[in-house]
Amino acid sequence: MNASRVSKNIYLIDTLSLGFRETVAAYLILGDKYALVDMGYASSLESLLKGIRETGVNPSELDYLIPTHVHLDHVGSLGHLSRIAGDAEVLAHPRAVKHIVNPSRLMESVRSVFGEKAELFGELLPTESGRVRAVNDYERLDLGSLTLTLIHSPGHAPHQITVLVEEEKALITGDAVSIDYPYFPVQIPTTPPPSYSHEEALETLRKLKRLNPRTYLRPHFGAKRQDGYLDQQIELLNWWRDLIGKALEKGMDRGGVIRHVMEMVAGKAGVEVERLPTPVKVDIEVSVSGMIKYLQR
Ligand SMILES: [Zn+2]
Q: What's the gap in Å between 95 CA and the centre of ligand 1? A: 14
pTM for this predicted structure: 0.97
Beta pairing partners, 5: 11
Q: What's the gap in Å between 266 CA and the centre of ligand 1? A: 23
Q: What's the gap in Å between 74 CA and the centre of ligand 1? A: 7
Q: Is the pLDDT of residue 215 over 90?
A: yes
| Residue 30 neighbours by CB under 8 Å, 6+ apart | 9, 10, 11, 55, 57, 146
Q: How many helices (H) and strands (E) does the chain have?
A: 9, 13
CATH 3.60.15.10: does it fit domain 3-229? yes
Q: What's the gap in Å between 121 CA and the centre of ligand 1? A: 13
Strands 89-92 and 64-66: parallel
Average pLDDT taken over every residue of the chain? 97
The whole-angstrom separation of Cα 12 and Cα 260 is 34
Q: What's the gap in Å between 185 CA and the centre of ligand 1? A: 21
Q: What's the gap in Å between 42 CA and the centre of ligand 1? A: 15
The whole-angstrom separation of Cα 87 and Cα 2 is 24
* Amino acid code (one letter) for 262: M
Q: What's the gap in Å between 202 CA and the centre of ligand 1? A: 16
Residue-wise pLDDT tens digits, 237-288: 999 999 999 999 999 999 999 999 999 999 999 999 999 999 999 999 999 9
Backbone φ and ψ for 195, nearest 5 degrees, come out as -130, 25
The whole-angstrom separation of Cα 155 and Cα 173 is 12
Q: What's the gap in Å between 250 CA and the centre of ligand 1? A: 29
Q: What's the gap in Å between 217 CA and the centre of ligand 1? A: 15
Residue-wise pLDDT tens digits, 40-94: 999 999 999 999 999 999 999 999 999 999 999 999 999 999 999 999 999 999 9
Q: What's the gap in Å between 90 CA and the centre of ligand 1? A: 18
Q: Please state, in angstroms and as integers, the Cα–Cα distance from residue 190 to each residue in 126, 129, 178, 193, 291, following that order.
A: 26, 29, 5, 10, 9
Q: What's the gap in Å between 124 CA and the centre of ligand 1? A: 15
Domain limits, the chain: 3-229
